[in-house]
Amino acid sequence: MNEPDIIINGHQLNSAQAMAVRVAITSFFQEMWGPTPLGEDEIGIKLQRGGYRDRLAEVLKIVMPKPMPEH
């Protein structure tokens, strides 16, 4: 499994660091699918549904490992 190339403030993460970032993003994304992880008030619901979930889904499409090419 190839990890994504991730550059933060001009510093390229190594494979283990990129994997840690990918796993953290995936975990947070899963957490945002709970019933009310940020509270039941209007702001919490808007942040969860219209903010974090949508943005995390966009990022996951970018960082998910590409399948290994077949030889």
Domain that holds residue 14: 7-63
Q: For the chain, what is the domain count? A: 1
Is 69 inside a domain boundary? Answer: no
Is 15 inside a domain boundary? Answer: yes
Phi-psi region of 58 (alpha: psi -120 to 50; beta: other; left: phi over 0): alpha
Is 45 inside a domain boundary? Answer: yes
Is 70 inside a domain boundary? Answer: no
The whole-number average pLDDT for the span 9-13 is 96
Per-residue pLDDT of 13-56, as tens digits, reads 999 999 999 999 999 888 888 777 788 888 888 888 778 888 88
Given a cut of 70, whether residue 70 has pLDDT beyond it is no
Residue 68 pLDDT level (bands cut at 50, 70, 90): low
Is 1 inside a domain boundary? Answer: no
Is 68 inside a domain boundary? Answer: no
* Separation of first and last alpha carbons in the chain: 14
Question: Residue 18: its pLDDT value, please?
Answer: 93
